[in-house]
Amino acid sequence: MRTRPTLGWRPTGVVAPTATSMAEVADIVAAGRVLVLSGAGISTESGIPDYRGETGTLRRHTPMTYDEFVGAPDGRRRYWARSHLGWRTISAAQPNAGHRAVAVLAARGYLTGVITQNVDGLHQAAGTADVVDLHGRLDRVICLSCKETSSRVELDDRLRAANPGFDPATTRINPDGDVDLPEATVRGFQVVDCAGCGGVLKPDVVFFGENVPPPRVRRCAELVDAAEAVLVLGSSLAVMSGLRFVRRAATDGKPVLIVNRGETRGDPYARLRVDLPLGAALTELVRLVA
């Protein structure tokens, strides 16, 4: 069963107490056993935009939905043409100060794990080992027929061979790894099928309207239950796939701390929200708990 895509949310007016200092966050992190839940806001300083921030792409861009992708060849052609170009930016992105700070906190034993809603792999690139990719990874591809997974690099080579000279000018990258392209440009793009069985290839990510695999959800719930606190980094928590873990922690009486630019859907469950840029805030957090 698939869920209806949640592209936006209406603020309730119930906001968490706000701060412009990481001092209280540092006190809780210093005690250890903290679970990090990160969102697109932690990757904006690496050149990957978010969906719902001040310059979020939902103001101009509707992400691909699962039904649109599987429902018609035209939807898949549109996705792969735009994603083929956007992949160059995603694959070249480097971890920023926020990702590196999380890796330091994990290495020093303050964290029990990291759940990320991002699909860019930048936490792992920064050196964090224990990461659950809640919404999957853009650097993997899965066949919807035989379920075999393969490398996005391999697919990129095949798409380049099938579309020689396909290099239209682009100006904007979206968080889901695609770019804006006119329909006339998309129309001539050639999609490739699974090299093993000829089935439909899909990025190994959870599209809007698609459910997170149940085993992954259970693993995240176990991490919440094992933690003493949850630290949300750069997420508006607009989609239930991440919000449910914040609700679970709050129901169990565990402190939820949020570092995000602006109000979030999780504010009613949070002890505190710090409104600071993630790179500077997390660098300061590392210094405070050292």
CB 159 within 8 A of CB 80: yes
CA distance 289 to 26: 6
Q: Is 143 annotated as a binding residue?
A: yes
Is 161 assigned a ligand-binding role in the annotation?
no
146 marked as part of a ligand binding site? yes
**Residue 117 annotated in ligand binding:** yes
Query: Whose CA is closest to 268, among 73, 37, 70, 13?
Result: 13
Q: Which long-range contacts (CB under 8 A, 24 or more apart) does 212-216 make?
A: 212/134, 212/135, 212/241, 216/132, 216/134
Determine whether the annotation assigns residue 79 to a binding site. no
Is 154 labelled a binding residue?
A: no
274 touches 25 (CB < 8 A): yes
Residue 54 marked as a ligand binder = yes
56 labelled ligand-binding:
yes
Question: Is 59 annotated for ligand binding?
Answer: yes
3-state DSSP call for residue 285? Answer: helix
Residue 123 a catalytic site member: no
41 annotated as belonging to a binding site for a ligand: yes
- 48 labelled as ligand-binding? yes
Identify the DSSP state of 137.
Answer: E
The Cα angle at residue 95 between residues 31 and 86, in degrees rounded to 5: 135
The annotation status of 58 as a binding-site residue, yes or no, is yes
| Bridging pattern class, strands 18-19 and 272-274 | parallel
Q: Is 235 annotated as a binding residue?
A: yes
Establish whether 39 is an annotated binding residue: yes
The verdict on whether residue 156 carries a ligand-binding annotation is no
Q: How far is CA 282 from the centre of its chain?
A: 18
The helix, strand and coil proportions of the chain, stated in percent and rounded to the nearest 5, come to 40, 15, 45
Exposure string over 144-166, b if 16+ CB within 10 A, otherwise e: eeeeeebebeebbebbeeebeee
Q: Which of 69, 85, 88 is nearest to 77 (CA)?
A: 69
Is 194 flagged in the annotation as binding? yes
Cα–Cα distance, 66 to 75 (Å, whole number) = 10
Query: Out of 84, 99, 123, 135, which one is annotated catalytic?
Result: 135
Q: Which positions are annotated as active-site residues?
A: 135
Annotated binding residues for Zn(2+), written as ranges, equal: 143, 146, 194, 197
> Which residues are documented as binding site for NAD(+)?
39-59, 117-120, 234-236, 260-262, 278
Binding site, annotated residues: 39-59, 117-120, 143, 146, 194, 197, 234-236, 260-262, 278
